[in-house]
Amino acid sequence: MRTYLVTGGAGFIGSNYIHYMFEKYGEEIRIINVDKLTYAGNLENLKDVEGRENYTFVKADICDSEKINQIFAENDIDRVVHFAAESHVDRSIKNPTVFVETNVLGTLVMLNAAKAAWELPDGTYKEDKKFLHVSTDEVYGSLEEDGGYFYETTPYAPHSPYSASKASSDMLVKAYMDTYKFPANITNCSNNYGPYQFPEKLIPLIINNALHGKKLPVYGDGKNVRDWLYVMDHAKGIDMVQEKGRLFETYNIGGHNEKQNIQIIHIILDTLQEMLPEGDPRKELVSEKLITYVEDRKGHDRRYAIAPDKIKEEVGWYPETMFEDGIRLTIQWFFEHEDWMEHVTSGDYQKYYQEMYQDK
Ligand SMILES: NC(=O)c1ccc[n+]([C@@H]2O[C@H](COP(=O)([O-])OP(=O)(O)OC[C@H]3O[C@@H](n4cnc5c(N)ncnc54)[C@H](O)[C@@H]3O)[C@@H](O)[C@H]2O)c1
């Protein structure tokens, strides 16, 4: 039975990944989820795996090296999948320090702990131990509107404090692979969307605001382009890279699904109108009139676009969920989890840990 240490598993992508892995491997794996439960960590995302014998949650900060070393000492970890990060660009513009602490120093702590646990006296590593560092396409900077794609060989050119901190963490992982032959991979993925996404990010924000008849803020001219990927396709890509990819390699994960922000908003509005039943009072609220252009984000990258050729050729991964299907699945999920959105927007979700784990 393989043991996984997943960091940041209470966040958006981490919790989807944990669901994906239990669905795929069932009782064949064990997952230890280490999460600090910042504002972005929500244990309600993992309600349905909580009772599993092969799942453990540990509330810890990845910057706390003593605690992280202890987890490695007490468990024979086979795989690390490292999601934990501060992840919101706007927050990084306001407060860059915590981004460097968690994303850079926290990654260093994870690398050191895994290296210490896995390294043998002769400098080689215990058999079949692997570390996967989950990163973003934002490290590559910005593309021209008609200008090419990000490849694994594209030079790093981050612009925001968020992408600079992720680029630094990638460089550390690369340095450990080059210097110590540390058994790792890096994945750089495009923008994700899907269930459990915190409503500060574009897609859940627009869905939630539109359903409440609130303004739909659009940065600048709304023509910034992102390459959107359904989160379960990302989860699958991570697993495939870790099991089928070549060690020490970086793989880009993306959907060939470029859309301008304003196009995304129109698609969401149209899909909501289509999916809401006749007579539902929210149908009246969902309207293009809610679109409100606001001052552009500082240093706003114009276009991101991934070339997923390498992962396709070497690992056999390709994005399975078309955007039109993925957005319907996401909206349907939000319809069925109104209480989740309510808890998140009211702040009540932060009480969940106290209720579930305080006396354990
Ligand atoms: N969201 C995207 O579109 C996207 C795209 C590509 C890559 N990524 C990367 O994927 C990873 C996950 O992104 P996400 O969108 O799920 O983020 P998220 O903000 O939803 O979740 C981050 C999780 O990390 C936890 N965390 C934060 N600081 C921590 C610390 N110091 N110690 C322990 N846990 C801590 C949070 O509590 C939260 O559960 C990040 O590394 C991000 O850079 C995200």
Which of these ranges, 112-121, 137-146, 226-235, 274-283, has the smallest mean pLDDT?
137-146
Distance 102 CA to ligand 1 centre (A): 10
Per-residue tokens: 259? 């859309």
Evaluate if residue 82 carries a pLDDT over 60. Answer: yes
Ligand 1, atom 22, residue with closest C-alpha: 11
With a 6 Å cutoff on the Cβ, whether 106 touches ligand 1 is yes
- Residue 138 bears catalytic tag: yes
Evaluate if residue 300 carries a pLDDT over 70. Answer: yes
Ligand 1, atom 6, residue with closest C-alpha: 136
The CATH code of the domain that includes 251 is 3.40.50.720
Q: Which residue has the tokens 């981004």?
A: 99
| Marked catalytic residue, from 138, 233, 239, 258 | 138
Q: How many CB atoms lie within 10 A of CB 38?
A: 18
Distance 135 CA to ligand 1 centre (A): 9
Helices (H), the chain: 12-25, 65-74, 89-94, 97-99, 107-118, 161-180, 202-211, 231-244, 261-275, 282-285, 309-315, 323-336, 338-346, 352-357
pLDDT tens-digit series, residues 231-264: 999 999 999 999 999 999 999 999 789 999 999 9
Best of 13, 33, 192 for a ligand 1 pocket test (most atoms within 8 Å of beta carbon): 13
- Look at residue 359 in the predicted model and tell me its pLDDT: 59
Distance 2 CA to ligand 1 centre (A): 23
Q: What is the mean pLDDT of residues 105-127?
A: 98
Which of these ranges, 83-92, 119-128, 144-153, has the smallest mean pLDDT?
144-153
Q: Any idea what the Cα angle at residue 25 is, between residues 107 and 199, rounded to 5°?
A: 55
In a domain, 290, yes or no: no
In a domain, 317, yes or no: yes
Q: Check: CB of residue 182 under 8 Å from CB of residue 115.
A: yes
Domain assignment of residue 114, given as a range: 2-193+229-257+299-322
**Which CA distances in Å does 344 have to 47, 87, 223, 337, 352?**
14, 17, 29, 11, 11
Q: How many domains does the chain have?
A: 1
Angle between helices 338-346 and 323-336 (to 10 degrees): 80
Atom of ligand 1 nearest to the CA of 10: 39
Mean pLDDT of the chain: 95
With a 6 Å cutoff on the Cβ, whether 182 touches ligand 1 is no
With a 6 Å cutoff on the Cβ, whether 229 touches ligand 1 is no
With a 6 Å cutoff on the Cβ, whether 11 touches ligand 1 is yes
Q: What is the mean pLDDT of residues 44-71?
A: 97
Distance 7 CA to ligand 1 centre (A): 9
With a 6 Å cutoff on the Cβ, whether 41 touches ligand 1 is yes
- Look at residue 181 in the predicted model and tell me its pLDDT: 98
Q: What is the mean pLDDT of residues 152-163?
A: 96
- Look at residue 357 in the predicted model and tell me its pLDDT: 76
| Marked catalytic residue, from 162, 251, 304, 352 | 162
Strand, coil or helix: 231:
helix
With a 6 Å cutoff on the Cβ, whether 196 touches ligand 1 is no
Strand, coil or helix: 291:
strand
Per-residue tokens: 272? 């909501």
Burial state string for 230-245 with b = 16 or more CB within 10 A and e = fewer than 16: bbbbbbbbbbbbbeeb
In a domain, 64, yes or no: yes
Q: Percent of the chain scored above 70 by pLDDT? A: 99
- At 360, the pLDDT band (50, 70, 90 cuts) reads low
Evaluate if residue 332 carries a pLDDT over 90. Answer: yes
Q: Which residue has the tokens 């869905």?
A: 207
Per-residue tokens: 164? 């600079």
- One-letter amino acid of 176: Y
Q: What is the mean pLDDT of residues 311-317?
A: 98
Burial state string for 161-170 with b = 16 or more CB within 10 A and e = fewer than 16: bbbbbbbbbb
In a domain, 202, yes or no: no
- Look at residue 296 in the predicted model and tell me its pLDDT: 87
Dihedral sign, Cα of residue 53, residue 59, residue 64, residue 66: negative
| Dihedral of the alpha carbons of 272, 276, 282, 288, in degrees to the nearest 10 | 30
In a domain, 357, yes or no: no
Ligand 1, atom 18, residue with closest C-alpha: 11
In a domain, 331, yes or no: no
In a domain, 25, yes or no: yes
In a domain, 59, yes or no: yes
Ligand 1, atom 28, residue with closest C-alpha: 85
pLDDT tens-digit series, residues 180-236: 999 999 999 999 999 999 998 999 999 999 999 999 999 999 999 999 999 999 999
- Residue 55 bears catalytic tag: no
Dihedral sign, Cα of residue 12, residue 13, residue 14, residue 20: positive
Evaluate if residue 354 carries a pLDDT over 90. Answer: no
Q: How many CB atoms lie within 10 A of CB 148?
A: 11
CB within 8 A of 186, min separation 6: which ones?
132, 133, 135, 170, 173, 174, 249, 250, 251
- Look at residue 349 in the predicted model and tell me its pLDDT: 85
Q: What is the pTM of this model?
A: 0.96
Q: What is the mean pLDDT of residues 98-121?
A: 98
